[in-house]
Chain A
């Protein structure tokens, strides 16, 4: 059974870099059938798409975050990672790692979510 597990510090200082890793179990991240991505949700608010990556390393980042976000993938460890630089209190959120599956038309929808991890930005 597929599992996505986020890991990383729960507290990050302002202006520093937030780093999270998603470990995939029950499936191979090297499968060409899926994209892997990140979504965040500030406490009590809605969902925001951060970006996604293919097993080849090809990635797409939300333009609103592009200058601060890096998404990478390590197929040998079956993991992918998120780095968000120069964080502020506005980056406090639950961060979810997700899988995107392909529908028949070739477009990818999010079909599976990790449980999420709360990251608080505070001094």
Chain B
């Protein structure tokens, strides 16, 4: 099973700042089979990025993903008030699918 480790656990930033979230895999992914999700309190997760760098439909271009192998990054170029949430990475190239533990982006 591939273990995904997300860092930092919590990121305290102000609106307008840049957020950089990391996701590291215990084994190299066979390709870029990694997705990122955003979850707000009381809501289901929402797909942001798949295939490591492809934005899902309707996702603003301030969200971008990069990486391959074992190291992946989600970048939010300029934080908007609605971006403060928990973010999860997930690998889907190896069974079982696994999720990272999440990074909380909170208002500083």
Could you tell me which A residues sit within 8 Å of B by CB distance?
46-49, 60, 62-64, 96, 100, 103-105, 107-116
CB contact under 8 A between A47 and B88, given known A103-B51, A107-B33? yes
CB contact under 8 A between A110 and B47, given known A46-B102, A60-B95? yes
C-alpha gap A9/B51 in the complex (Å): 36
Q: Determine if A46 and B92 form an interchain contact, defined as CB atoms under 8 angstroms apart.
A: no
Q: Determine if A110 and B44 form an interchain contact, defined as CB atoms under 8 angstroms apart.
A: no
Contacts of B56 on A, CB cut-off 8 Å?
111
C-alpha gap A47/B100 in the complex (Å): 8
Shortest Cβ-Cβ A-B pairs, 7 listed: A113-B44, A49-B97, A47-B99, A62-B96, A109-B50, A109-B35, A109-B92
Contacts of B81 on A, CB cut-off 8 Å?
none
Contacts of A104 on B, CB cut-off 8 Å?
51
| Closest residue on chain B to residue A37 by CB atoms | B97
Q: Which one of B44, B47, B50, B54 has the greatest number of beta carbons of chain A within 10 Å? A: B44
Contacts of B15 on A, CB cut-off 8 Å?
none
Could you tell me which B residues sit within 8 Å of A by CB distance?
1, 31, 33, 35, 37, 43-47, 50-51, 54, 56, 88, 90, 92-93, 95-102
CB contact under 8 A between A105 and B47, given known A62-B96, A64-B96? no
CB contact under 8 A between A107 and B93, given known A113-B44, A115-B44? yes
Contact of B51 among A49, A109, A112, A113 (CB under 8 A): A109
Contacts of A63 on B, CB cut-off 8 Å?
1, 96
Q: Determine if A116 and B96 form an interchain contact, defined as CB atoms under 8 angstroms apart.
A: no
C-alpha gap A60/B93 in the complex (Å): 14
Q: Determine if B96 and A103 form an interchain contact, defined as CB atoms under 8 angstroms apart.
A: no
Contacts of A62 on B, CB cut-off 8 Å?
96-97
Q: Determine if A49 and B50 form an interchain contact, defined as CB atoms under 8 angstroms apart.
A: no
C-alpha gap A63/B33 in the complex (Å): 20
Contacts of B47 on A, CB cut-off 8 Å?
109-112
Contacts of A114 on B, CB cut-off 8 Å?
44
